[in-house]
Amino acid sequence: MDHAPLRQVPLPPAVMSADEAGNAGALHPESLLRIPLLSQVFDDPAIAIVRRGIDARWKYEETVETRVDGFNPLRSAVFIGTHSRLDRWLPHRHGSARPFNEGDALMPEALFCAHDYLHSWAYHWIDRLQPGLGFGCSPITTANFEDMVFCHILSEAVATVGLDYWYLSTIDLNEVVPVGTVQKGLTVSYREEWSEEYRRFNPGLAVQHPAFLGQLTRFYCDGVFVGFDVRDLQRSPALHNWIVHELSYGRLQRRYCRQWFAYLSADDIRLSDKRLDAPIACDEAWKQRLVGEIGERLWAKVKQGEMCAAGPRLDPERSWRAPVKRAPDFRFLNLNRCEPVSPAAVKSMPKEAFEFLLRQYVARFDYEAFPAEALGVFTLMREEQDLSIGDRLLRGIKRLPQGAAEPRDLFLYN
């Protein structure tokens, strides 16, 4: 294909733990490992880096609309695409990041690595602190469904508070890693330097405190940020940008989590649009205690640089898996780990689910080896909702090998 050449570097192993981190040596002043939470990803023995058999360059060239690396905190892993910027940087992570950050594109990938790590870290602690719930391993049923959803939303708050609110909002990232980055936050626009503006409307706002995890968790659960009202948002663009984004983000997280957990469930859980977006109960005593205990540990992890490890990783053999008999939904399944889908099943998929199937199908091809004149086949496949077209017309074109540690269950929504 006709495209700008990408710098190639030797690839790391398909799975790397902290014990296999390579030649550390002294950190270069421009190393991204000077970001403490990113460094912890490689220092935590409970976390693995798993390279998937998907070519990230399809997303870079906008042939597919979203990244298809995938996400699953149950697996105690961070998933990365082959030929991704993160993949090229990993073997050289102790050196300068500048050669790998063209267009400032490596920085968000690296930060999302830390964000996903905090999800897994939270899953470990939820399982440790609330063992009777069986979060991550006991079957999801109609009876415990909402409690499991609450715990995932708590993990989302942990990832956002830990990385964005308690770290990125308080620093100038280019001073920490002087590579000319203009990246500020990752998933929110909140900046600690604007705290006086925010407190004009909510004098009691205290983001830099362990209790803020509980405040944001509640906001994600019910969409109400205590201390602000609609008139405040109308009077402050900075406040409006921050709160309105978080309001939408929380609603989407409730919807996505319920869809995913319903798919993983042992029961046949069917949810209306109203139910998908509905508030999540968060006032039970055990939930408040859990949020408080994790908040204290997260504060120590971010502010004091403590690992605060919860112990052994969740057993992937016991973790939730979608029932094999369930109709395939490639918003939540890894095509690399699934049996071939019948043409009839593909035809009957909702459009959104088929779109995620097609994105994964495309990304399995080696971008470099794919002939430009064959790109139109993907358009035809989309129009006809038919993968067999590609199976016939693209036979023999190089595909990437599957990663040995790829799981069947992956969350692909972005």
- Interval 27-66: pLDDT, tens: 999 999 999 999 999 999 999 999 999 999 999 999 999 9
The answer to the question of residue 160 being in a domain is yes
Q: Which of 22-36, 130-144, 194-208, 220-234 has the lowest mean pLDDT?
A: 22-36
Is 360 among the domain residues? no
Look at residue 383 in the predicted model and tell me its pLDDT. 98
Mean per-residue pLDDT, 223-238: 96
Residue 156 above 50 pLDDT? yes
Rounded to whole angstroms, the Cα distance separating 169 from 173 reads 9
37 found inside a domain = no
Backbone angles phi, psi at 96, to 5 degrees: -65, 135
| Of 185, 183, 11, 168, the residue nearest 107 (C-alpha) | 183
* 157, β-bridge pairs: none
Beta bridge partners of 45: none
The pLDDT value given to residue 43: 94
- Report the side by side order of strands in the sheet with 48-55: 15-16, 48-55, 77-82
Q: Residue 344 carries which side chain, given as an amino acid letter?
A: A
Token couple for 56: 């990230």
Question: Is a pLDDT exceeding 80 seen at residue 292?
Answer: yes
| Residue 47 domain-assigned (yes or no) | no
Residues 61, 357: Cα–Cα separation, whole Å: 18
Mean pLDDT for the stretch of residues 14-23: 42
Give me the pLDDT at residue 305, please: 96
Is the separation of the CB atoms in 161 and 114 below 8 Å? no
What is the distance between the alpha carbons of residues 360 and 316, in angstroms, rounded to a whole number?
Answer: 23
- Whether 382 maps to a domain, the answer reads no
Cα–Cα distances (Å) from 129 to 132, 151, 213, in that order, read: 9, 12, 16
> Residue 82 forms beta bridges with which residues?
55
Position with higher pLDDT, 70 vs 21: 70
Mean pLDDT for the chain overall = 93
Tell whether 378 is covered by a domain: no
303-362 pLDDT, tens digit per residue, is 999 999 998 877 888 899 999 999 999 999 999 999 999 999 999 999 999 999 999 999
Neighbours of 303 (CB within 10 A): 15
Is the Cβ–Cβ distance between 156 and 119 less than 8 Å? yes
> What global pTM score does this model have?
0.93
The answer as to whether 261 is a domain residue is: yes
What are 242's two structure tokens?
């921050």
Range of the domain at 181: 104-304
More confident residue, 105 or 7: 105
**Average pLDDT value for residue range 275-304:** 99
Q: Domain count of the chain? A: 1
**Residues 80-106, mean pLDDT to the nearest whole number:** 97
Is residue 138, in this structure, part of any structural domain at all?
yes
For residue 398, pLDDT over 80 is answered with yes
Residue 5 pLDDT grade (very low, low, confident, very high; cuts 50, 70, 90) = very low
